[in-house]
Amino acid sequence: MKLFSLVALGAVLPLLVFLSFTPTEKNAPKKPNIILIVADDLGYGDVGFNGQTKIKTPNLDRLATEGMNFRQQYCGTSVCGPSRAALMTGIHTAHATVRELSEWSLTGKPANLIPTDVTVAEELKRAGYQTGIIGKWGLDEGGTTGHALDQGFDVFYGFKTHREAHHYYPEYIWQNREKVLLPDNDCANKVGTYSNDSFASQALSFIQDHKNGPFFLYLPFTLPHNELTVPDDSKQPYQNQGWPERPMKVAHYHHDPDGNLAYAGMVSRLDRYVGQIMAELKKQKLDENTLVVFTSDNGPGFDNGFFDSNGPFRGGKLQLYEGGIRVPFVARWPGKIKAGSVSGHACAFWDFLPTACEVAGIKPTANIDGISYLPTLLGKPKNQQVHDALYWEINEREGPIQAVVMGPWKGIKFYEKSFELYNLADDIGEKTNLADQHPEIVAKIKAFMAETRTEHPEFPLTKRKALY
């Protein structure tokens, strides 16, 4: 018996030693927090790290200095709703549930996410994340299946629809499923609480309340989307600059008198919010374990050339030229992303979901179009998968329009107009149409457009006007 006991003890001791060094839940590395900050109608060239000289964006520039700047990041499409749908679901407009704003659907049916859509918030909840959205949701246009709380978010504060987000001194803001009235606000006279100030404050509270994490915070501000208005303290630095005045007509949007001053102030106020968020992360000792991503939902909708909001690119919002779909994008994650790095990796909004999933240690559950760019973030380009092609469509005002980027080539198909083909490697401004010189490439891109797109009863590629 004694010999058996000694043998048994000799077998157990190594196991006990091994178990004592095996990571437990308590000492295992925490999953990183993820903060996704999205501007509204901010152009590629509106930020200092992409060449802006008139508008000051020191906090965003610091984000780029401490992280990675993507030079070929594309949004979902060149208008808010479907672009944000691609960001949330990892599915692009060739076969998404939301391919256009409700006004431009065939019958006027509200463009909502549906129960079968799987958002990045739903995916991250599987990995133990607490999730929140503060700002413009815009994917619950009909008040049915698209509510943020039905799409994976634990906390919602902001605007359910895109039209609610048109004004900065709103009559109400949604908090979860409750409409919170703001009786001190006067939208037309711009009196009361500036909505985005509330968003920033709520974001800081969310970080404080969820500091034990992990958390995913989606923070879609509405700056600098029309209407062009901002508190005076944000315009003051741009007074007496000798800028040309840009008088604004007051109608649906209650603009400030000078559009240039207002726009610059709005971008700078957005930059201020980013600085506040970064400071709070440091204060809560979350800085080292938080991936922060900053981008914009589509190209600029305001600039007449004074700010060079689209940078070196052609076009802007509602167009599928590069200026309409190429957006500012920086990612910061200390110790993981090399400070001051720049990437030319071509990626798009539908790549965010698989990237967030890989960061969280899970795989997407739905069949998506996205490819994780985590290898690029971590400085491992040899491990990075690339897209064979990227696809967009839009049917607002000038539509229907389809576009495809395939390697260096960019093809744009307009309704009953000549096909356009550009070599982005040589012609980033899309000035020289090469369609006649390269019919074989045009045919290849057209075939891809036809093969990848699925039909949707509300979003056919037909010419139409907004229904309301």
User: Is 22 inside any structural domain?
Assistant: no
Q: Looking at the structure, tell me whether residues 412 and 305 fall in a common domain.
A: no
Last residue of a domain, one of 337, 360, 386: 386
pLDDT at 467 (0 to 100): 80
Diameter of the chain measured on Cα atoms: 98
Note the pLDDT of residue 304: 85
Are residues 195 and 73 part of one domain? yes
Predicted confidence band of residue 27 (pLDDT cuts 50, 70, 90): low
Report pTM. 0.94
Same structural domain for residues 353 and 424? no
Three-class SS state of 321: coil
Give which of 200, 201, 198, 256 is closest to 232, Cα–Cα: 256
Residues 374 and 253 in one domain: yes
Percent of the chain with pLDDT over 70: 94
Three-state secondary-structure class, residue 37: strand
Using DSSP's 3-state secondary structure scheme, residue 63 falls into helix
Is 97 within a domain? yes
Is-contact 263 302, C-beta < 8 A?
A: yes
Whether residue 147 sits in one domain with residue 181:
yes
Render pLDDT for 364-395 as a digit per residue (tens, 0 to 9): 999 999 999 999 999 999 999 999 999 999 99
**420 domain-assigned:** yes
416: CATH: 3.30.1120.10
Residue 334, preceding peptide bond in cis (omega within 30° of 0): no
Q: What is the dihedral of CA 464, 465, 467, 468, to 10 degrees?
A: 160
Query: Whole-angstrom Cα distance, residue 292 to residue 218?
Result: 10
Q: Is residue 468 part of a domain?
A: no
Is the domain of 170 the same as that of 129?
yes
Let me know whether 362 and 396 are in one domain.
no
Decide which of 386, 407, 439 is a domain's last residue: 386
Of 235, 270, 267, 255, the closest CA to residue 190 belongs to 255
| Location of structure tokens 């990041």 | 73
- With respect to residue 138, please indicate whether it lies within any of the assigned structural domains: yes
Range of the domain at 436: 392-452
Q: For 226-231, what is the mean pLDDT?
A: 97
In a domain, 120, yes or no: yes
Does residue 355 lie within any of the structural domains?
yes
DSSP type of residue 8:
H
State pLDDT tens for residues 292-341.
999 999 999 998 899 999 999 999 999 999 999 999 999 999 999 999 99
Please write down the long-range contacts of 339-343, taking CB distance under 8 Å and 24 or more positions apart: 339/65, 339/66, 339/67, 340/64, 340/65, 340/66, 341/67, 341/68, 341/69, 341/379, 342/68, 342/69, 342/70, 342/71, 343/68, 343/69, 343/70, 343/71, 343/376
Q: Give the mean model confidence (pLDDT) for residues 273-293.
A: 98
Distance, CA of 122 to chain centre? 17
Mean pLDDT of 114-143: 97
Give the tens place of pLDDT for each residue, 130-188: 999 999 999 999 999 999 999 999 999 999 999 999 999 999 999 999 999 999 999 99
Residues 186 and 93 occupy one common structural domain: yes
DSSP string, 107-170: S----B--TT---HHHHHHHTT-EEEEEEE---BTTSSS--GGGTT-SEEEEESSTTGGG-SS-
In a domain, residue 321? The reply is yes
C-alpha dihedral (343, 323, 53, 235), degrees to nearest 10: -120
Query: Amino acid letter at 224?
Result: P
User: What's the pLDDT score for residue 21?
Assistant: 43
Distance CA 442, CA 409 (A): 9
Q: Which CATH number covers residue 268?
A: 3.40.720.10
CA distances to 166, 228, 248, 381 from 251, in Å: 12, 12, 9, 49
Q: From CA 158, how far away is CA 218, in angstroms rounded?
A: 11
If you ran DSSP here, which 8-state letter would residue 102 be given? G
Cβ atoms of 371 and 358 closer than 8 Å? no
Residue after which a domain boundary falls, among 332, 356, 386: 386
Mean pLDDT computed over 38-60: 98
Pair 43, 175 in one domain: yes
186 and 202 in a single domain? The answer is yes
Count of domains forming the chain: 2
Secondary structure element (H or E) that encloses residue 405, with its range: strand 401-406
222 and 139, same domain (yes or no)? yes
How many helices (H) does the chain have, and how many strands (E)?
A: 11, 16
Q: Are 49 and 40 in contact (CB under 8 A)?
A: no
Q: What's residue 10's pLDDT?
A: 46
* Percent above pLDDT 90 for the chain: 91
Note whether 118 and 64 are same-domain residues: yes
